[in-house]
């Protein structure tokens, strides 16, 4: 069973998903890969993790960096998990490139190189938007590319964070 709840953000309605304990999904309604991996059995329910997530989102959309993270349980391959874990280390207000992530993941895995496109695929399939901050990943030239929630939302999120390029 998957439990769902809604959140109305300044950038549009969002859907939260949970296994009953942890947050398993957070999407802008209608975004690419919306609800991917959700089972057919769904129910709307008020859960503590949804209240925590809504509080996190309220703080975030007020222009502040939340100082806590709801319990997360994103499901994905070991490679995607590694990329998503790296995304969680990108500080509020900073960005990194797909290539920089590829280099770091390659080093972690003892490889000489890794495809930035492979990283892009994992970033794009992130099931927990904002909290796992895939919007902080930019193209090699700093361009805003590849956000499942839409490039205009990505620009607004980075503007909200007053994002700077991580050096």
Quote the crossing angle between the two packed helices 98-108 and 116-124, to the nearest 10°: 100
Q: Is 13 a catalytic residue?
A: no
Beta strand spans in the chain (E): 2-9, 12-18, 23-28, 42-44, 94-97, 137-138, 164-165
Residue 91 DSSP symbol? P
The tokens for 52 are 């925590």
Residues 6+ apart with CB under 8 A from 45: 3, 4, 5
Q: Which of 47, 134, 137, 160 is catalytic?
A: 134
Q: Is 153 helix (H, G, I), strand (E, B) or coil?
A: helix
Catalytic residues, by residue number, are: 134
């Amino acid at each position: 069973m998957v439990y769902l709840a809604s959140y109305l953000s300044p950038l549009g309605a969002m859907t939260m998903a949970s296994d009953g304990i942890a947050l398993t999904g957070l999407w802008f309604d209608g975004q690419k890969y919306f609800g991917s991996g959700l089972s057919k059995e769904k129910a709307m329910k008020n859960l503590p993790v949804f209240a925590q997530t809504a509080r996190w989102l309220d703080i975030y959309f007020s222009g502040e960096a939340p100082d806590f993270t709801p319990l997360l349980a994103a499901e994905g391959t070991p490679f995607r998990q590694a990329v998503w874990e790296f995304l969680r280390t990108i500080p509020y207000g900073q960005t990194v490139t797909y290539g920089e992530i590829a280099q770091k993941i390659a080093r972690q895995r003892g490889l000489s190189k890794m495809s930035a496109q492979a990283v892009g695929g994992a970033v794009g399939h992130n099931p927990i938007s904002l909290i796992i901050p895939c919007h902080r990943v930019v193209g090699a030239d700093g361009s805003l590319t590849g956000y499942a929630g839409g490039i205009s939302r990505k620009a607004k999120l980075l503007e909200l964070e007053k994002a700077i390029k991580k050096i």
